[in-house]
Every structure is written in structure tokens, then in C-alpha cells.
Amino acid sequence: MSKPLLEMQNVSVTFPSGAGRVAVVDEISFSLDEGEVLALVGESGCGKTMAALALMRLIPKPGRAEKTSRITFDGKDVMAASVDDMRALRGYDLSMIFQDPMTCLNPVVRVGDQVVEAIRLHESVSYGAARKRTIELFERVGIPDAEQRFSTYPHLLSGGLKQRVMISMAVATKPRLLIADEPTTALDVTVQAQILELLRELQRDLGTTILLITHDFAVVNELADRVAVMYAGKMVEKGTRYELLKMPRHPYTEGLLGAIPHAAQRGHELNEIEGVVPPPALWPAGCRFTNRCPKAFEPCEGTLPPRIETSGTGVAWCHALAKASGR
Ligand SMILES: Nc1ncnc2c1ncn2[C@@H]1O[C@H](COP(=O)(O)OP(=O)(O)O)[C@@H](O)[C@H]1O
Ligand SMILES: [Mg+2]
């Protein structure tokens, strides 16, 4: 067995709060093999973006990834990487489609030239060749009048178009690992389909490994090999796409999928579970889902849930599952 391309082990991200630092990502672990697509799902505020930013080493201050976190990319210790190492890694191997497109667009450079610059930093190609590739990419992500739009400044584009420019930029350099943070949330259904097709082609033709953060189970169904579910900073269940979509075991995953048997129509967002993710200060010492869980019983609130091997390769952390399986 070859080593995974990415290993995240016991990764924690903390922010200061009144009562010391609170872990908004709390000792989560997952790995990605080369060429694989892992979907990270969970409601808003569960720590998905912070987990991805830990890998990019871009946690905004005063947040930080805790020293106990182990992140290994292609054998390199990401937590110990120098600023220059990180810059090289982000330039060549890791690329992220951010939730907010302005995070990575330069307001004073024409959008086409931003993509051209990114390409030419990586490959010795002529301006003309890079320009041609950029316009092709713009067309593939559904930017109308791609050739004219090449010379536009970011602020003259709608949010959806900025998002598509950023997606072009993130994939133009053919990264080994692409982190796509809710890449299609702001886009209409037709464009969503184009973006998904582009991601699928990258994965199929270039073997790009993808960490896909999404709310949309249709996207999970179309792209993901494996799925990891987070709730309030904790990993609650992991498994293959089939295991998670067809046989969800954790009450939270069941809740997200709802009673709908085929959650795989495009645009099927996470099911609404009654209540909201409480703020970190109110998380129970035991299972954080306790106060919203239909299966909660005595040990849930005070004791951390045990790790249960579900079916096949799946795992979940749940007292009710432990009880049901006689442990
Ligand atoms: N700048 C910040 N200061 C304090 N807490 C923050 C900050 N940014 C994010 N958080 C906390 O981190 C949690 C996880 O955020 P995030 O990773 O963006 O969630 P998700 O991507 O799953 O919606 C949030 O619920 C919030 O409590
Ligand atoms: Mg997010």
C-alpha cells in the first residue's frame, strides 16, 4: 500500500474566547489517497473551512492550528514547513477555491492576466499560449464572452463570475490537491453542472486529488469517493460514498440526509435539522450533537462518544450506536 497523499491527524484549530481557547476544529483526522475525492460535509459553522485552512496554513489570527495537529502532504510535514516552503507548496501542489472569491483576486489586475500570471509562474509558456488557455478555461467554467471578460477588473464582475474566475485560477496550475470550499454554492444550476464537470475531468484526466467541501448531497453523489461528516468541530462519521448515502449510521448524518430516499437530485441541500449548531461556549462535554439528537440518552451529554466501526470501512462516534451494537 502506498502512503496517502494527504494525512490529517488529530488536527485542532482554536480561537480565544472568554474561557480560554475553544477548539472549533477538535482533533479531527482524515486522509486522501492520490486521485481520490473526499467530501467534507456538515452544517454552517461546523469547522469545515477552518480544517481546510489549517492544511493551507492560512488560519486567520487570533486563530491557530494546535501543535498537536499532524498534517502530512506527500511526505512533507506541513505544520513544520517554513514560510517559503508553504509558498512553494501553495503555488505548485495545493490550490484552494475559497468560499469568498475576493480572498484571492487582486482588485487592480485584469482577471485574465491574473490567471495568466498563475500559469506562467508554474510553466514556461508564452503569454499568448497562457492567454489562450485562460480563455478556454473561462469558457469551460461558463463565463460568457470569455475573450472580452479576460480584460475586465474583478470589481466589474458579479459574484458568480468572480467565483468562476477564481475556479479557473485554482485549476489552471493543475494542482495535485485541489481544495474546493463550497465551489458551486453561489452559482445557478447550469453553471454548477459545468463546474462539477470540470472538477470531474480534472480528477479523471489529471488524477487531481480533491477535498470537496459541500452542502449539496447531489454533488457528493456525483463526485465523492469517500465522505467525512463534521458536527461542531468534531468528526462524527466517515465512510465511502455508498456507506454514507445509503446506510448513514450516525443520527446527525441521518438527519442531514433526512427521510428522502434519494438525496441525489441536483440541488438537494442538507436537510434541515431542528435547532442550530450551538456556539462553541455551549458545546456539551460529551457528544456535541446531544441536544438535537433524537437518540440521545444518559451518557451522551457528559461522556465523549466511543468510536464504532460501522459497515465495511465506515466509522462513527456515537453512544446510541454503541448501545445498539451491544458494546
Ligand atoms: N475569526 C474568528 N474568530 C472566532 N471564531 C471564529 C472565527 N472564524 C471562525 N470562527 C469559529 O469557527 C467555527 C467554524 O467556522 P468555519 O470553519 O468557517 O465553519 P464552516 O466552514 O463549517 O461553516 C465557527 O462556528 C466560528 O465559531
Ligand atoms: Mg465554510
String of DSSP letters for 222-264: HH-SEEEEEETTEEEEEEEHHHHHHS--SHHHHHHHTT-S-TT
Query: Residue 52, Cβ neighbours under 10 Å: how many?
Result: 23
Q: Check residue 191 and give its pLDDT.
A: 83
Phi and psi for 234 in degrees, rounded to 5? Answer: -110, 150
Q: Check residue 269 and give its pLDDT.
A: 59
Closest CA to 29 of 241, 208, 234: 234
Kindly list the domain boundaries of the chain, sorted by start residue.
Answer: 6-93+177-269, 103-174
Q: Are 138 and 164 in contact (CB under 8 A)?
A: yes
Q: Indicate whether residue 35 lines ligand 1 (CB < 6 A).
A: no
Strand-pair category, 64-65 with 6-17:
antiparallel
Q: Check residue 22 and give its pLDDT.
A: 92
Q: Indicate whether residue 146 lines ligand 1 (CB < 6 A).
A: no
Q: Check residue 313 and give its pLDDT.
A: 87
Closest CA to 267 of 196, 197, 189, 202: 189
Whole-number Å distance between alpha carbons of 21 and 181: 25
Q: Looking at ligand 1, which atom is closest to the CA of residue 230? A: 22
6-93+177-269 classified as CATH 3.40.190.10:
no
Cis amide linkage into residue 62, ω under 30° from 0: yes
223, amino acid identity: L
183-193 exposure pattern, b = at least 16 Cβ within 10 A, e = fewer: bbebbeeebbe
Residue 135 sits at the vertex; the CA angle it makes with 205 and 207, to the nearest 5 degrees, is 15
Q: Are 3 and 75 in contact (CB under 8 A)?
A: yes
Q: Check residue 268 and give its pLDDT.
A: 55
What lies within 8 Å, CB to CB, of 307 at 6+ separation is: 315, 316, 317
H or E element that contains 166 = helix 159-172
Ligand 1 center to 232 CA (angstroms):
10
Q: Say what the pTM is.
A: 0.92
Q: Are 318 and 252 in contact (CB under 8 A)?
A: no
In this structure, which residue's CA is closest to atom 12 in ligand 1? 24
Whole-number Å distance between alpha carbons of 221 and 203: 15
Beta bridge partners of 32: 6
Q: Indicate whether residue 48 lines ligand 1 (CB < 6 A).
A: yes
Q: Check residue 262 and give its pLDDT.
A: 52
**Consecutive 10-residue averages of pLDDT for the chain (327 residues):** 91 92 96 97 94 96 97 97 92 88 86 95 93 95 94 92 91 94 84 88 92 89 95 97 93 82 53 83 92 95 95 93 86
Ligand 1 pocket mutation, candidates 11, 12, 41, 50, criterion most atoms within 8 A of CB? 50
Q: Check residue 287 and give its pLDDT.
A: 97
Q: Could you tell me the CA-to-CA distances from 200 to 14, 82, 208, 219, 222 in Å, in that order? A: 34, 33, 9, 11, 9
Strand-pair category, 307-309 with 76-77:
unpaired
Long-range Cβ pairs for the range 308-313 (8 Å, 24+): 308/249, 310/237, 310/239, 310/243, 310/247, 310/249, 311/239, 311/243, 311/247, 311/249, 312/239, 312/240, 312/243, 313/239, 313/240, 313/243
Q: Check residue 109 and give its pLDDT.
A: 96
Task: Provide the terminal-to-terminal Cα distance of the chain, rounded to the nearest Å.
Answer: 31
Whole-number Å distance between alpha carbons of 105 and 88: 19
Query: Residue 219: is it exposed, middle or buried by C-beta count within 10 angstroms (0-12/13-18/19+)?
Result: buried
Q: Check residue 189 and give its pLDDT.
A: 83
Q: Check residue 192 and give its pLDDT.
A: 85
Ligand 1 pocket mutation, candidates 12, 22, 24, criterion most atoms within 8 A of CB? 24
